Structures are given as structure tokens and as C-alpha cells.
């Protein structure tokens, strides 16, 4: 689950990178470094060499994206954490497994990260967009969390009131309503309280769980436009796919958008970059 930093945007409030980090800073490089360090500059800018600049000869051809396999992998990962955890009594696992299946059926497959434009990751700081729910986008008290395409379940110890209160305090979204509620399900551990945070879209989707083009494209534009005036470089589509399509994803689709929507997003994003609004296209 990677966090995206908009094209060439500076990390305001952090120490400037040393001379051995070339400028302008790539959003992909800063995003990975910042995610690993939780935005502490001592780690984020401690590299001696540009460790994320791959040699073209060493790049591997990406495997084809298979949505069914990605969804199954996600289910198995969620089941290990929520259902098969040692903290769940053996006689409660059938109930927990059924509840997990119901959540997937209602809210979509298990995912690793959200597109930056998804209502479940409100972008409080446009300079540092996030792709996973955390305190950086307004949530408090999350613990042992599993993401679905349009909801997530967190299992904190205690009653989970911090999560519910933080969701209730969020600004309303124009396209969806975010709701938090307790679940009477034995997920993860008998001492935790599972909290479901769900995204209720205001429009029904023509294709189940897939955000349609009419919503995904303008939401992407709105997010990318927020800091265009501070951008330094434009990023290539291949760099931006995890941030705009969600994770897991392929070259032309993801568990959030189908091929038609993803290709429309690619064309619009390419037009934005080619306009020069973000600055020159990053070449390495």
C-alpha cells in the first residue's frame, strides 16, 4: 500500500533533501521513502544514491493482471488475519468466515490500497495524498485492518469508539457517505471490537463494485488538480497506476475500475501531463 506524492511536489515542513538527492524529486521516490519513514526526514533523505532509479536492462516485464486471482489472494490474506487468527475460538470461525464472505459480497473484493481519489481516503493534505486509511486522512484508532473495495474492517482492542467518532467528524463527500458501525462478529481476537467503515456511493454502479467512468475520471481530475501550481515534473502513467487505479492493479484495469474506465483515465491523465501543467515530463 503505497502513498502518492503529487507530481514533483515539495515536502513542505521537512528538511530539504541533501545535495546527493537530485531535483526535482520524483513523486514515486518520495512516496516510498516517506511511507517507510512515516515522513521523518532523517530516514526519508538519508540515501547516498538514487536507489529507486532502475536500470532499464534490469526491469522485468510485469505479469498479466488477473482480477479473479488477485481477489482470491486478498480473500485468503483476510481470512488468515480475521478468521484463522489464534485469537478467534475454533467454534467461532465458521461464523467469522461467513461474515467475511458477506462483506466481500456487499463491499467488493479485498484490496491492498485505494486510489487517491476514493472517498475512503480523504486527502486532508494535498501535498501528500494517501492510499490507505490512517490518521493522516482523518481516522483514529485503526488496528488490524483489512480493506475491501468500498469498505474496510478494523479490529481495535476496546470498543472502537475512536474510529466511529473520527468518521463522524469527517467532512461530507459529494459522491458518497462514509459510515462507521460495530459488527457482532468474532474477527481477529475476542478482545477486539470489529468496526466496519463503509463507503455508500450515492449512485448505483452499472458493473458491481466497479466505479464507473463518469465518477472515476472527474474524481481523478479533481485530486490531481489540487496542487498543479506547485508541481515541478509530470509523471508517466506507468508510475501513477498504483495511485490512480488502486492496488492490486494491472496495466488496463484494477479491482476498482474496469478496462474501459482505466483507459479513459489514462487518456485524460496523459492530456493533463502533455499540457505541461505539471512541468516537464520526468524522463527517468
Q: Which domain holds residue 133?
A: 67-201
Report how many domains make up the chain. Answer: 1
Is 161 inside a domain boundary? yes
Instruction: Name residues whose C-beta falls within 8 Å of residue 148's C-beta, 6 or more positions apart in sequence.
Output: 103, 104, 107, 108, 109, 110, 111
Is 47 inside a domain boundary? no
Is 146 inside a domain boundary? yes
Average pLDDT (154-174) is 96
In this prediction, residue 64 carries a pLDDT of 60
Specify whether the CB–CB gap between 246 and 117 falls below 8 A: no
Is 42 inside a domain boundary? no
CA distance 224 to 221: 5
| pTM, rounded to two decimals | 0.78
Is 245 inside a domain boundary? no
Is 85 inside a domain boundary? yes
Is 249 inside a domain boundary? no
**Lowest-pLDDT range of 40-44, 134-138, 144-148, 194-198:** 40-44
Specify whether the CB–CB gap between 125 and 136 falls below 8 A: yes
CA distance 149 to 242: 14
pLDDT at 199 over 50: yes
DSSP category for residue 162: H
Specify whether the CB–CB gap between 142 and 120 falls below 8 A: no
Is 180 inside a domain boundary? yes
Three-class secondary structure of residue 176 per DSSP: strand
Please give the C-alpha separations between residue 90 and each of 79, 83, 96, 192, 206, in angstroms, as whole numbers. 13, 9, 10, 16, 39
pLDDT digits (tens, 9 = 90+) for 73-122: 999 999 999 999 999 999 999 999 999 999 999 999 999 999 999 999 99
Amino acid at each position: 500500500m503505497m502513498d502518492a506524492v503529487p507530481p514533483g511536489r515539495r515536502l513542505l515542513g521537512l528538511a530539504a533533501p541533501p545535495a546527493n538527492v537530485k531535483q526535482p524529486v520524483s513523486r514515486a521516490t518520495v512516496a516510498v521513502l516517506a511511507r517507510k519513514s512515516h515522513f521523518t526526514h532523517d530516514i526519508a533523505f538519508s540515501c547516498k544514491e538514487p536507489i529507486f532509479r532502475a536500470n532499464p536492462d534490469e526491469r522485468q516485464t510485469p505479469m498479466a493482471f488477473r482480477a479473479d486471482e488477485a481477489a482470491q489472494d486478498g480473500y485468503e490474506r483476510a481470512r488468515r488475519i480475521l478468521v484463522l487468527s489464534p485469537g478467534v475460538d475454533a467454534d467461532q470461525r465458521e461464523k467469522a468466515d461467513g461474515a467475511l464472505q458477506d462483506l466481500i459480497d456487499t463491499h467488493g473484493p479485498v484490496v491492498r490500497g485505494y486510489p487517491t481519489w476514493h472517498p475512503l481516503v480523504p486527502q486532508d493534505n494535498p501535498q501528500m495524498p494517501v492510499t490507505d486509511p490512517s490518521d493522516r486522512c482523518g481516522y483514529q484508532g485503526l488496528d488490524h485492518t483489512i480493506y475491501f473495495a468500498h469498505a474496510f474492517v478494523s479490529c481495535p482492542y476496546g470498543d472502537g469508539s475512536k474510529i466511529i467518532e473520527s468518521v463522524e467528524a469527517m467532512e461530507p463527500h459529494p459522491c458518497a457517505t462514509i459510515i462507521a458501525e460495530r459488527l457482532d462478529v468474532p474477527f481477529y481476537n475476542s478482545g477486539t471490537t470489529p468496526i466496519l467503515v463503509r463507503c455508500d456511493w450515492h449512485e448505483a454502479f452499472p458493473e458491481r463494485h466497479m466505479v464507473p467512468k463518469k465518477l472515476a475520471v472527474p474524481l481523478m481530475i479533481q485530486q490531481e488538480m489540487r496542487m498543479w501550481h506547485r508541481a515541478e515534473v509530470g509523471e508517466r502513467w506507468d508510475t501513477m497506476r498504483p495511485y490512480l487505479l488502486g492496488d492490486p492493479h494491472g496495466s488496463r484495469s484494477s479491482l476498482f475500475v474496469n478496462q474501459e474506465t482505466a483507459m479513459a483515465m489514462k487518456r485524460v491523465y496523459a492530456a493533463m501531463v502533455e499540457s505541461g501543467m505539471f512541468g516537464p515530463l520526468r524522463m527517468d
